[in-house]
Amino acid sequence: TMATYLEFIQQNEERDGVRFSWNVWPSSRLEATRMVVPLACLLTPLKERPDLPPVQYEPVLCSRPTCKAILNPLCQVDYRAKLWACNFCFQRNQFPPTYTGISEVNQPAELMPQFSTIEYVIQRGPQSPLIFLYVVDTCLEEEDLQALKESLQMSLSLLPPDALVGLITFGRMVQVHELSCEGISKSFVFRGTKDLTAKQIQDMLGLTTPAVPVQQARPQELPFVSSRFLQPVQKIDMNLTDLLGELQRDPWPVPQGKRPLRSTGVALSIAVGLLEGTFPNTGARIMLFTGGPPTQGPGMVVGDELKVPIRSWHDIEKDNARLMKKATKHYEMLANRTATNGHCIDIYACALDQTGLLEMKCCANLTGGHMVMGDSFNTSLFKQTFQRIFSKDFNGDFRMAFGATLEVKTSRELKVAGAIGPCVSLNVKGPCVSENELGVGGTSQWKICGLDPTSTLGIYFEVVNQHNAPIPQGGRGAIQFVTQYQHSSTQRRIRVTTVARNWADAQSQLRHIEAAFDQEAAAVLMARLGVFRAESEEGPDVLRWLDRQLIRLFMFHLRRSPFLQVFNNSPDESSYYRHHFARQDLTQSLIMIQPILYSYSFHGPPEPVLLDSSSILADRILLMDTFFQIVIYLGETIAQWRKAGYQDMPEYENFKHLLQAPLDDAQEILQARFPMPRYINTEHGGSQARFLLSKVNPSQTHNNLYTWGQETGAPILTDDVSLQVFMDHLKKLAVSSAC
Amino acid sequence: MAELYVKPGNKERGWNDPPQFSYGLQTQAGGPKRTPLTKRVAAPQDGSPRVPISETSPGAPRMGPPPLSSKASRPPPVGSCPASSVEPTNFPVIECETLLEDVLKPLEQALEDCRGHTKKQVCDDISRRLALLQEQWAGGKLSTPVKKRMALLVQELSSHQWDAADDIHRSLMVDHVTEVSQWMVGVKRLIAEKRSLSSEEAKEEKSTATAEEHQTVPGVQRAP
């Protein structure tokens, strides 16, 4: 029944961090194709599991070289003979000697069904410290630079004491600061106009000899590797605090009518080269803080003449953005190198105008780095979002994780078509890899250099079973997700999730298939696919692909949504919204598709209401969450009462509580969300009421397809009505077309 | 005893800047939510949007006051929120002024304790920053919350509660960075050095005790 499947879906998500579009799988390729919505899942590989302590031993692998699946609850075990049969390739394997004591009543954890998700700690191998390389734009207004300096100084108190930290500053030139405990601080200066190869950078910085282990003064501590440019926080924090405090604005004068000369492309290039030469293949973040667009050198996005504006969507559509392709190529080259080195790049862009997120987005998207967009470094939005990078989990460990590789194995009836999320392909071919690509395909392994407990990938599958091949009675398909990563404590860990679902024949088991359809997961997975195609292919082709889909109603709204129809946002804004949509978990992604709207009144507890103008009533307070914004809106009467001061009169204390309730609920969201949303507290007739009004009357924005430069704030994918209709429509079409 | 407060965002730099939460509020473990805002409403079956109701029909009589607070009315929302208004920090009712000496003396003593164990350069650097702290405090440049929390930090440091002292230093860096950044990193280092010194002393005591166990002959008095 429906209720049981909802429970099943929820339990599986809680335990395994997985949501499938279909929880009963079509038993043949032909049937799967008819179902329109592909078999796919959202996977949160490092989902927080306070109830799952990691085991302190290494996983047992299938001995077949082309398989190497990990021992899991689906495997058949012969306890007497100490043999196990791999459920993926059916190879019989001998248990290792350490397992001689196992029996039916003494099972190892990895065989128990409740440990379909289990985490192993790898004991062997060196544990390298985490690395944080700050790349700081000094072409900022004085107030902004001061605020940024203070945030960076503060961050030294949040970093783990044994982490390595480094500093590169840039403006017209790029300066790599040598960190030392001696009084005098030296730096290496590079011209911002000329790109250098990795080798040139490494030569000029004297990195030709690899970083050597250095014995610390206190022999009982472990030796660490360091370099002149990357030193442990606990050793360098006082000097670096002073160095940061003394940073000046870029000294090159900016003439009237010009932009500052900002060499972001070379600065990032040097950062990537520095880490490549000193600490390849260990967890590191390059953190770029910038207050304007790159204006010189490779990667420049706009020239220094203010009268030439930065490219808009209109310019791009008319093929009038001459710098865009070359700049994008530069950052893509850097992003791919960074991902190969196992490092990630964060972009913290705070400015009133665009900063080139469109061209630089691959740096964050391919490496799993963060993208934060704000108006100024002297805002709570930036300061607190930045603080939340260093948030800790229930164990007191940092949530951030590094250097992950995700491998997907499937039973033979399935193949992997691709993944969509903050990852790059590892180009690993094999029997699980489909020839058809959905997302980043042609591989069964991906690399995610930066991730945290909410990072979520969309993984798409293909059913390859032939139509006339019989399914064994009660047969189930299986998928195993293996994520190896560097935990923030620097331990290496492996998280293994193995799931199975029943095959079903659409002819005879339609009701089961229908009941087991997860409409929320399907919506997000389809939307991700649509946005991925819009980003990587020409716009009109994507729209034509959407038109060919059977689910015209949903696609009609998706194609008109700001995720695809971008003209109401700047190219940077679109990049920012899409960046978050491509990595958030299901709940947050759904909020972006369909904002939440709650109504507060004297008539009862807060209740969800339709995202429609009919929900705007004089005696109600509305709280809207679009993920990127929290909006509180007082109806006309509420606003009048507040103006009259009733909340201050003791006999109207309930009104005071009513006013406070949405504020408290908003606060809970604001306290936890990453990135921090914008916060709008407005009322009937207020100038900022348009943020609510434009969401409940989406037809107003959709009709303005070719007006640009007008910023209406956060987008939504569909309006409330059509999403519900889509869900039902999708189910009916998807299921009936399979017959 | 962390400060729990919320301040408005920077309205001049960002009109929709969200509020700023204190370190204490941000590091609170997430408990059960007051009102989990995750539900949606099913749309009408025919799929057509409802006819928008105008907020106030023209010519409608003005609304009177809100309903009076009474037992019959809706109870206030359940669940408490620590401190969500823009009020200043929760101070104890009786305020006694935090004295500079009460904070500086223990810090200087802690630095002295470390002199044998820590490099001279580091000690000098810490000393320089303590002097800066003194100068700013005496010059009236530090706010009361900073002074109060420094007093707490020093108490924790004196009681060898390294983690607690460290956490207070962090909360001051997050909540009051402009005031404290120049000298606080010295206090941070001092805590780290004292912690390290203390664990070395503990190890030495342990090995001394073990050595003594092996040497002591029952009945023989040890020389004073």
Q: Is A376 on the interface with B (CB under 8 A)?
A: yes
Which residue in chain A has the smallest CA separation from B171?
Answer: A157
Question: Could you write out the DSSP letters of every residue in chain B?
Answer: -----EE---TTT-TTPPPEEPHHHHTSPP-S-SS------PPPTT-PPPPPPPSS-TTPPPP-PPPPP-TTSPPPPSS--S--SS------SS--PPPHHHHHHHHHHHHHHHTTTS-HHHHHHHHHHHHHHHHHHHTT-S-HHHHHHHHHHHHHHHTT-HHHHHHHHHHHHHH-HHHHHHHHHHHHHHHHHHHHHHHHHHHHHHHHHHHHHHHPPTTPPPP-
Cα distance between residue A369 and residue A22, in whole Å: 31
Q: Inspect the interface and report whether the beta carbons of A238 and B129 lie closer than 8 Å.
A: yes
The CATH class, in words, for A5-123+399-517 is mainly beta
Whether residue A679 is predicted with pLDDT greater than 80 in this model: the reply is yes
Whether residue A211 is predicted with pLDDT greater than 60 in this model: the reply is no
Q: Inspect the interface and report whether the beta carbons of B189 and A387 lie closer than 8 Å.
A: no
Q: Does the domain made of A520-589 have the CATH classification 1.10.10.10? A: no
Q: Is A618 on the interface with B (CB under 8 A)?
A: yes
The predicted structure's pLDDT at residue A535: 80
Whether residue B129 is predicted with pLDDT greater than 90 in this model: the reply is yes
Instruction: Select from A156, A380, A696 the residue whose CB has the most chain B CBs within 10 Å, as the one to mutate to test that interface.
Output: A380
User: DSSP label at A651?
Assistant: G
Chain B residue numbers touching A610 (CB-CB < 8 A): 41, 43, 50
CA-wise closest residue to A269 among A172, A196, A366: A196
Quickly name the fold that domain A595-730 has. Severin (3.40.20)
Instruction: Select from A13, A150, A241 the residue whose CB has the most chain B CBs within 10 Å, as the one to mutate to test that interface.
Output: A241
Q: Is B30 on the interface with A (CB under 8 A)?
A: yes
How does pLDDT run across A325-367, given as a tens digit for each residue?
Answer: 999 999 999 999 999 999 999 999 999 999 999 999 999 999 9
Q: Inspect the interface and report whether the beta carbons of A635 and B55 lie closer than 8 Å.
A: yes
Chain A residue numbers touching B38 (CB-CB < 8 A): 587, 596
> Band of the pLDDT at A534, cuts 50, 70, 90?
confident
In chain A, domain spans: 5-123+399-517, 131-142+154-206+226-235+248-376, 520-589, 595-730
Better-predicted residue by pLDDT, B24 or A552:
B24
Whether residue A711 is predicted with pLDDT greater than 60 in this model: the reply is no
**Residues A621, A666 contacting (CB under 8 angstroms):** no
Q: Inspect the interface and report whether the beta carbons of B10 and A596 lie closer than 8 Å.
A: no
Q: Inspect the interface and report whether the beta carbons of A613 and B52 lie closer than 8 Å.
A: yes
Distance set, CA A573 to CA A21, A371, A604, A714 (Å): 29, 11, 38, 9
The predicted structure's pLDDT at residue A594: 79
Average pLDDT over residues B5-23: 90
What H or E segment, with its residue span, contains residue A383? helix A380-388
ipTM of this complex = 0.86
The predicted structure's pLDDT at residue A563: 67
Residues 6+ positions from B172 with CB-CB distance below 8 Å: B146, B149, B150, B153, B180, B184
Instruction: Please count the other Cβ atoms lying within 10 Å of the Cβ belonging to residue A105.
Output: 6
The predicted structure's pLDDT at residue B58: 43
Q: Is A288 on the interface with B (CB under 8 A)?
A: no
Better-predicted residue by pLDDT, A691 or A542:
A691
Backbone angles phi, psi at A313, to 5 degrees: -60, -35
Better-predicted residue by pLDDT, A292 or B4:
A292
Structure tokens at A664: 């408290």
SS3 for A380? Answer: helix
Backbone angles phi, psi at A409, to 5 degrees: -120, 145
Kindly report the nearest CA distance between residue A145 and chain B, in angstroms.
13
| Domain A131-142+154-206+226-235+248-376, CATH | 3.40.50.410
Which candidate from B21, B41, B55 shows the least CB-CB separation from A618? B55
The predicted structure's pLDDT at residue A541: 62
The predicted structure's pLDDT at residue A312: 92
* Residues 132-161 in B contacting A (C-alpha not used; CB under 8 Å): none
The predicted structure's pLDDT at residue A561: 58
How does pLDDT run across A268-325, given as a tens digit for each residue?
Answer: 999 999 999 999 999 999 999 999 999 999 999 999 999 999 999 889 989 999 999 9
